[in-house]
C-alpha cells in the first residue's frame, strides 16, 4: 500500500515548522550537510524519552508501520 499523500504532506508541514523554529541555529557539522529529517526524528525520540517512552521501542514500532504502509 503506497504512502498516502496527505500523510506525507502532514510530515512536510511538521518538518517545515521544525526548521522555522530552529531558524539560524542550523549549520553543517564539520562541513557536512545536515539531514533535517534525522534531526527532527532525533529530537522527537528525545521528547519520547522525556515522556517515559523507550526510544528504541518507538523506532521499532515506526519501522513496522512504514513497512506495513509501503507494501
Residue 18 near residue 36 (C-beta atoms within 8 A) = yes
> How confident is the model at residue 3, as a pLDDT?
60
What are the phi and psi torsion angles at 32 (to 5°)? -85, 145
Residue 60 near residue 53 (C-beta atoms within 8 A) = no
Q: Say what the pTM is.
A: 0.77
How far, in whole angstroms, is CA 65 from its chain's centroid? 14
Supply 11's cell numbers. 510530515
What are the phi and psi torsion angles at 39 (to 5°)? -60, -45
How many domains does the structure of the chain reveal? Answer: 1
pLDDT digits (tens, 9 = 90+) for 9-57: 999 899 889 988 877 566 555 555 568 888 899 999 999 999 999 999 9
Q: Structural domain of residue 25, as residue ranges? A: 5-69
First and final CA of the chain: distance in angstroms? Answer: 5
Amino acid at each position: 500500500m503506497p504512502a498516502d499523500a496527505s500523510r506525507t504532506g502532514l510530515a512536510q508541514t511538521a518538518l517545515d515548522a521544525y526548521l522555522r523554529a530552529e531558524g539560524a541555529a542550523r549549520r553543517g557539522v564539520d562541513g557536512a550537510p545536515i539531514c533535517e529529517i534525522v534531526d527532527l526524528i532525533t529530537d522527537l525520540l528525545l521528547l519520547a524519552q522525556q515522556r517515559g517512552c523507550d526510544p528504541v521501542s518507538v523506532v521499532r514500532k515506526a519501522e513496522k508501520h512504514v513497512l506495513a504502509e509501503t507494501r
